[in-house]
Amino acid sequence: MGFNTALSGIKASADFLSVTGNNIANSDTTGFKRSRVEFGDLYNSSVVGAGSSNSIGSGVSVNNVAQQFAPGNISDTGSNLDLAVDGSGFFVLDIRGTQTFTRAGDFKLDEEGFLVTNDGASVQGYNAVDGIIGGNLEDLIVPTERIAPQATAAIEINARLDSGNEDVPAFIDDAFDPTDPDTYNYTQTQTVADAQVPPQNHIVSYYYAKSDLPNTYQVYATVDGSAVDDGGNAWLTDQYITFNGADGYRDALGAVQPGGSQVLYAGTNQPQVADIAALTQTDFALAGNLNGVAIADTLTVANVIEPSNVARNAFDPGDPLSYNFGNTKNIYDTLGETHTLGYYFIQQGEANTYELKVTVDGKKTFDDPVTGLPTPFVPEDTIITFDLSGNMSGIFEGFPPFAVSSPAQLSITGFDPTDLTAEIPIDLTKSTQFAGNNDDDFEQDGFAAGELQGVFFDEDGFLKATYTNQQTATLGQIALATFDNTDGLSPAGNTAWTASSNSGVANIGRANTGTLGGIRGGALEESNVDLTSELVGLIEAQRNYQANSKTLETENTVTQTIINLR
């Protein structure tokens, strides 16, 4: 009997050593779960008197080798296909038709793009079609083909324009003073003779000061340097002149007039739309006494000097002086070709009004497929207005004093060589005009064709792909499984387990739902083996083995003593 007791102890100690050694051997195995030996004592129930208080045990047996499913530490690896379960759950695998489960997430892509383990098991999940996650559990796959281009179909520009922007030339609000050049933009002079005998010549100077209307100047005059006559009256009162601009204008009938610098209006008071339409032009006449001498002069419209030296130049995207703010961004046509969209804001007058100019690939126009004529990408004299609070108040075509502004829907055409009639609506509703630097935010929904650049998993287990065109796509979602009794799982090797009658069937779902944990991408779960504890266990197993061996040795000595009795 003593021999059996000692032998059972030696066997149990050997099993303890084997389990401890296996834990130590797998201390660096990803996702490994340590095992623990659970012992039970033995009693021989067939012996007479067994079960009484005087019963002697028959040794020890290994009742169970239980795996400990406590989580291991999660360490970052930097590899996008390395995954760790942060919480409860197992990855679901399929190896030649057998469903297994693991916590080891060191996955790879095979030659066909399937997500697999190092031993070739397929990782299970829910594949996506056109970004929509399916409901069938299947092998996760990463499509390697390029994604098709998408033409730009919508643009949003959130312009932040500086309320300190100025028209060119800037509005002069200061009172006219012929001795102060800051109160006018330019001047011209002519000589006039008075009625004396003999007549005396006088120098009449005409001054042009930019008003608050586009291309419009208030006209002042001096005679021999004096701004007023003997009665203290100004030589000219409320006289204005409006010129054409270098880019032309949309008239009251909607027709686009070519650019130039000719006079469009001259007369008393600021021009109205009807005045420009009628080309109302009245010569500037002055009369009065200076030093008791009567003086009269007329500046005919034909002799007016045009403001070519002070007026804004024709719009040129390469000339920052021809606009207040501009920027360029990429848009895409049907074939995925990249085009450079330029958008430029030009302040017109002082009524919080900006003209919008658009270029594509540096060009200001395209050839209309119907008329064959050069056509701007947005209608001429498209304007954006702001209210007194600095918020955008509307988009119009035409602006005073050249035309009555009519509401418009803003879109660009002619950008796509494959379809010159295609339109892209532009949303400017979030644009503002506050004090600060000119700036903007730009968004558009098109992109070129793209090659697969990389894949990664987010915390919800979604498999995302990145492409060379800066796009991302959802390719699928990895599956996780839990069990009613995790301790009932059966080891299957390669740090995987299979379900058993003790564990119950797998409850398969998606990360961060129910009791399932989340996913840590670019990380792996380490073994949960505590080497210090295992080394201590190794010493205990060795001590137990030696002690049981001593029991066997002693039993043998006693037996020999009995045999030797004769």
Query: How high is the pLDDT of residue 39?
Result: 81
Give 409-444 pLDDT, tens digit per residue: 999 999 998 888 899 999 999 999 999 999 999 999
Residue 226 has pLDDT above 60, yes or no: yes
The pLDDT score that the predictor gives to residue 405 is 94
Token pair of 311, please? 């007026």
Alpha-carbon distances of 77 from 110, 380, 444, 466, 526, rounded to whole Å: 20, 58, 35, 19, 11
- Give residue-wise pLDDT tens across range 72-98: 999 999 999 999 999 999 999 999 999
For 327, counting Cβ atoms within 10 Å of its Cβ (0-12 exposed, 13-18 middle, 19+ buried), the class is: middle
Tell me the percentage of the chain whose pLDDT exceeds 70: 96
Q: Is the pLDDT of residue 117 over 70?
A: yes
Stated as kind and residue range, the H or E segment containing 413 is strand 411-413
| Range in 28-42, 145-159, 175-189, 441-455 with the lowest mean pLDDT | 28-42
Stretch 308-337: mean pLDDT, rounded?
Answer: 95
Place 54 in a pLDDT band, splitting at 50, 70 and 90. low
**What's the confidence (pLDDT) of residue 262?**
96
pLDDT at 34 over 80: yes
pLDDT value at position 90? 97
Residues 6+ apart with CB under 8 A from 471: 147, 447, 450
Q: What pLDDT, on a 0 to 100 scale, did the predictor assign at position 481?
A: 97
pLDDT tens digits for 367-397? 998 898 999 999 999 999 999 999 999 999 9
pLDDT band at residue 1 using 50, 70 and 90 as cut-offs: low
CA pair distance 100, 370, nearest whole angstrom: 66
Render pLDDT for 463-476 as a digit per residue (tens, 0 to 9).
Answer: 999 999 989 999 99
Of 35-49, 239-253, 255-269, the range with the lowest mean pLDDT is 35-49
Q: Is the pLDDT of residue 304 over 70?
A: yes
Please tell me the distance from the alpha carbon of residue 140 to that of residue 124, in angstroms, as a whole number: 6
Q: Average pLDDT, whole number, for the chain? A: 92
Confirm if 435 and 443 have CB atoms less than 8 A apart: no
Walk me through the domains of the chain, giving residue ranges and CATH numbers: 2-70+529-563 (no CATH), 77-141+467-525 (no CATH), 155-164+313-444 (2.60.98.20), 181-303 (2.60.98)
Whether 49 shows a pLDDT value over 60: the answer reads no
Query: Is the pLDDT confidence value at 354 over 80?
Result: yes
For residue 418, CA distances in Å to 79, 138, 333, 422, 449 come to: 42, 41, 8, 9, 16
Report which of 171, 308, 302 is spatially closest to residue 246, judged by C-alpha positions.
308
Q: What is the pLDDT of residue 106?
A: 95
Mean pLDDT across 533-559: 77
Band (pLDDT 50/70/90 cuts) for residue 458 is very high
For the whole prediction, is pTM greater than 0.85? Answer: no
Look at residue 45 and tell me whether its pLDDT is greater than 70. no
d(CA 313, CA 39) in angstroms, rounded, equals 96
